[in-house]
Amino acid sequence: MMRPYEHKAQYYETDQMKVVHHSNYIRWFEEARTDFMGQIGLPYRQMEEKGIIVPVLSVKCDYKSMTRFEEVVEVYTYVKKFNGIRMEFSYEIRDKKTGEVRVTGESGHCFLDPDYHLLSIKKKFPDYFKVYKSYEGKTDLYEEGKGYE
Amino acid sequence: MMRPYEHKAQYYETDQMKVVHHSNYIRWFEEARTDFMGQIGLPYRQMEEKGIIVPVLSVKCDYKSMTRFEEVVEVYTYVKKFNGIRMEFSYEIRDKKTGEVRVTGESGHCFLDPDYHLLSIKKKFPDYFKVYKSYEGKTDLYEEGKGYE
Amino acid sequence: MMRPYEHKAQYYETDQMKVVHHSNYIRWFEEARTDFMGQIGLPYRQMEEKGIIVPVLSVKCDYKSMTRFEEVVEVYTYVKKFNGIRMEFSYEIRDKKTGEVRVTGESGHCFLDPDYHLLSIKKKFPDYFKVYKSYEGKTDLYEEGKGYE
Amino acid sequence: MMRPYEHKAQYYETDQMKVVHHSNYIRWFEEARTDFMGQIGLPYRQMEEKGIIVPVLSVKCDYKSMTRFEEVVEVYTYVKKFNGIRMEFSYEIRDKKTGEVRVTGESGHCFLDPDYHLLSIKKKFPDYFKVYKSYEGKTDLYEEGKGYE
């Protein structure tokens, strides 16, 4: 089983509404996504060192409730779609203590080589392709109830 | 006519892909949105002082091309929908020099009072309601070609 | 014994020099400072709820070496000076794996009440005063060698 | 004469103390520094393209008063010291409307080649050396009273 990514809301992430500024959730998606890649054995840093760049093509975020300073959230990350050319992640951010959903969202990605040309993961990195493919559409990655203390 | 909001990409906004990090566009939407509110005579700071909070309920972003350090972009902001309870803005970010589209996006908002309860702008602030309503769905806010040098 | 604060360098914290942007270390100081306060039993959130604001009056940072994406650093935090009116923290940030010093720094603070007037912790919160005072100038807070794997 | 760099405080730059978070001033120093470089004819982007990297070695910041959302500040930048190997900038940030000093600070820099080796500007880029040298220690760069409306 995988473990959700944990993040503690920092003071500098709050704004004068006294909650976490909405732009930070996009950054927490990224934190969770790189953690997810590490957990499945394909750390993003290693991918970049092999010449694979994974830019963000789109992002979507629905804000359901607010996070306050020093609260801990858990980010559940899923591979929604993957065809070797494009990849879509989905995310659910919940308060660690109560399980209340804070934010849901998605991000779309492609793969580029160091010259910023489209890269077919399937052809060039078949091992990576297999790993990602094995997670596509799977929603039972995390232990049931794991998100609730 | 209105003028698009200008932003110069800063060094601290770049990431190791050598372009502006994708999360910053969400912040540029906000910069443009508050500038837009100022231009139509309802500065956001003044609204907060009158007890109106305008949280972000959702955000969407499509990344079309990359912005590099020291490039200047123009953000075109529009009121897509507004019914006095909810408001939707749409954005188009273009490179100032070439007019190339960098990012398009949307954000959804509601209105809250200082106790975080839903607020009907129509009932409580009819003057504000009228102003926003007059911009709803209008796409000819900016001088034609203004975005291109 | 206390434990140093750990932070993993995130992608959005890098800049086009391919290392962590220097402004983030100021934020990591803050992360470590609030973690320190939690460890000594005076969580910052709780202090704010009791009406104590602890603004930053000054900050100093010496950059010794660079942090790369996905590297983990440890922040060692110390109470350098404390007289009930002003407080100075000092920080040492080291790479977790090698122990190499990344950054050293300091921050100066005072205490304010909710109206932004100076607050004497000694008079108003003598319990808090005692706790902070007991850490003043102590440099043996962390287990020897703890910073090196 | 030079013009001070202007920055309008953004919502995402505030924190729950309802003022601009202290870490942002370090970023405003950088904005002002790159603007300064542009004004003296040596844009930072151009320098990086010629293979000159100018990392930050140290930074110092004294917070005198607080900046609120939508306030405009002016940053006055000076070359405090420059010997071709190291360079020190000093900064004064003032409220544009009142002239009140918000923050003063300094930053120390060196010059590196693309392999991160120390670079002597004097030997390799004598033209750049001359320009910087001509600003060293000069404090009358801005029109008297320019900072006050």
Model confidence over B41-87: pLDDT tens digits? 999 999 999 999 999 999 999 999 999 999 999 999 999 999 999 99
- Per-residue pLDDT of D101-147, as tens digits, reads 999 999 999 999 999 899 999 999 999 999 999 999 999 999 865 55
| Residues in CB range of A126: below 8 A, 6 or more apart | none
For residue range A104-137, list pLDDT tens digits in order: 999 999 999 999 899 999 999 999 999 999 999 9
The answer to whether the Cβ–Cβ distance between A59 and B60 falls below 8 Å is: yes
Hey, is the C-beta of A23 within 8 angstroms of any chain D C-beta?
yes
Question: Of C62, C94, C92, nearest to C80 (Cα)?
Answer: C92
Residues sharing a CB contact under 8 Å with residue C86, sequence separation 6 or more, in sequence order: C57, C108, C109, C110
**What would the pLDDT profile of D26-44 be if each residue is shown by its tens digit?**
999 999 999 999 999 999 9
Q: Which of C13, C74, C77 is nearest to C44 (CA)?
A: C77
CB proximity list for B39: less than 8 A, separation 6 or greater? B2, B3
D109 contacts on B by Cβ (under 8 Å): none
Chain B CB within 8 Å of residue C71 CB: no
At C11-33, the pLDDT tens digits run 999 999 999 999 999 999 999 99
Pairwise CA distance, residues D32 & D75, whole Å: 6
D116: contact with B, CB 8 A cutoff = no
Task: Assess whether pLDDT exceeds 80 at residue B148.
Answer: no
Q: Please tell me the distance from the alpha carbon of residue D118 to that of residue D114, in angstroms, as a whole number.
A: 10
pTM above 0.80, yes or no: yes
At residue B57, what is the residue type? L
Tell me which chain B residue has its CA closest to the CA of residue C19: B16
Residue A145 confidence (pLDDT) above 70:
no
The pLDDT value given to residue D143: 87
What angle, 0 to 180 degrees and rounded to 10, lies between the N-to-C axes of helices D23-39 and C23-39?
Answer: 170
Contact list in C for residue A45 (CB cut-off 8 A) is 68-70
Query: Which of C43, C48, C70 lies closest to A43 in CB terms?
Result: C70
In this predicted structure, the answer to whether residue B11 has a pLDDT above a threshold of 50 is: yes
How many Cβ atoms from other residues are within 10 Å of residue A4's Cβ?
Answer: 22
Instruction: Using CB atoms, list chains with 3+ pairs below 8 Å to chain D.
Output: A, B, C
Query: A116 — contact with chain D (CB < 8 Å)?
Result: no
Residues of C in contact with D66 (CB under 8 A): 55
pLDDT in tens, C77-129: 999 999 999 999 999 999 999 999 999 999 999 999 999 899 999 999 999 99
Q: Which tokens is A104 given?
A: 């849901």
Contact between residue C57 and residue C85 where contact means Cβ atoms under 8 Å apart: no
Q: Is D32 in contact with D63 (CB distance < 8 Å)?
A: no
Q: CB of C27 within 8 Å of any CB in chain D?
A: yes
Locate the chain D residue with the closest alpha carbon to B13.
D27
Each residue of B30-54: pLDDT tens digit? Answer: 999 999 999 999 999 999 999 999 9
The pLDDT-based confidence of A146 (bands split at 50, 70, 90) is low
Residue reference for tokens 């930050």: D56
